[in-house]
Amino acid sequence: MEQVRQARNVAVFIFEQVEPLDFAGPFEVFIAGSNRGQDFKVYTVAEKDAPIQAVGGLSINPAYTIANCPKPDILVIPGGWGSRQEMNNETITSWVREVSNDAEIILSVCTGALIAAKSKLLDGLKVTTNRLAIHELRDLVPASTEIVEEARYVDNGKIVLSAGVSAGMDAALYVVGKLLGEDRARKAANIMEYDWRRD
């Protein structure tokens, strides 16, 4: 008899001046790929229990704070202008580091890579980010880290990083396929009527 696996917790971190599609794109992908909530439980998490103002003035109410959120199996770290401030927020980088110890996958989108770098998760890995922020990432990582400038996403096993904005959806679909099979990822892309780019 097949054992039923508990749904994986997917924590989507949000912060002031987060890029909307950086977090909402992967959020939608994991919902679409969840088999009606059976395989992924997707939620937002922020440092504090207060509305977040994303880029463009979009207001989001986080479901949880870093102090009370369910233990993430997958952590999505989006980018946006606010990542430059959050990467210097020791409370956040410590939390990301702590979560990464037990998480199955950390998915960085766009300049979320800056937060991942300052959380000391990228040493010796292949990494990417939004092409307009490659120079910022280069300044943060050690020489052992290889920056891949033209990739939509790169997979280091536990740590997956994507380029800018819509590339986060491609990377999230890749993660769905990695965990649940490519058919599930293709089905999620079809549900969203999204043209999945795998390169």
pTM metric for this prediction: 0.95
pLDDT computed for residue 77 by the predictor: 98
Mean pLDDT for 176-192 is 96
pLDDT category at 156 given cuts 50, 70, 90 is: very high
Residues 6+ apart with CB under 8 A from 112: 13, 22, 76, 77, 78, 79, 83, 129, 161
Considering the domain boundaries, does residue 199 fall inside one? no
CA distance 197 to 179: 18
Q: Give the Cβ contact number of residue 36 at 10 Å.
A: 6
pLDDT category at 198 given cuts 50, 70, 90 is: confident
Residue 1 has pLDDT above 50, yes or no: no
Q: What share of the chain is helix, strand, coil (3-state, %, to 5)?
A: 35, 20, 45
Mean pLDDT (the chain) is 95
3-state secondary structure 1-53: CCCCCCCEEEEEECCCCCCHHHHHHHHHHHHHCCCCCCCEEEEEEECCCCCEE
Considering the domain boundaries, does residue 1 fall inside one? no
Q: Structural domain of residue 87, as residue ranges?
A: 8-191
Residue 88 has pLDDT above 90, yes or no: yes
Q: Which amino acid is at 49?
A: D
We report the CATH number of the domain holding residue 94 as 3.40.50.880
CA distances 187 to 28, 127, 181, 191, Å, are: 13, 28, 10, 6
Least confident of 5-9, 17-21, 88-92, 133-137: 5-9
pLDDT category at 32 given cuts 50, 70, 90 is: very high
Tokens (6 digits) for 110: 């766009």
Considering the domain boundaries, does residue 142 fall inside one? yes
DSSP H or E run through 83 = helix 83-86
Residue 31 has pLDDT above 50, yes or no: yes
Q: Which amino acid is at 33?
A: G
Considering the domain boundaries, does residue 116 fall inside one? yes
Mean pLDDT for 154-166 is 96
Considering the domain boundaries, does residue 37 fall inside one? yes
Count how many domains the chain has: 1
Answer yes or no: are the C-beta atoms of 110 and 129 closer than 8 Å. Answer: yes
Considering the domain boundaries, does residue 2 fall inside one? no
Considering the domain boundaries, does residue 15 fall inside one? yes
Task: Look at the block and give the residue holding tokens 């990467």.
Answer: 87
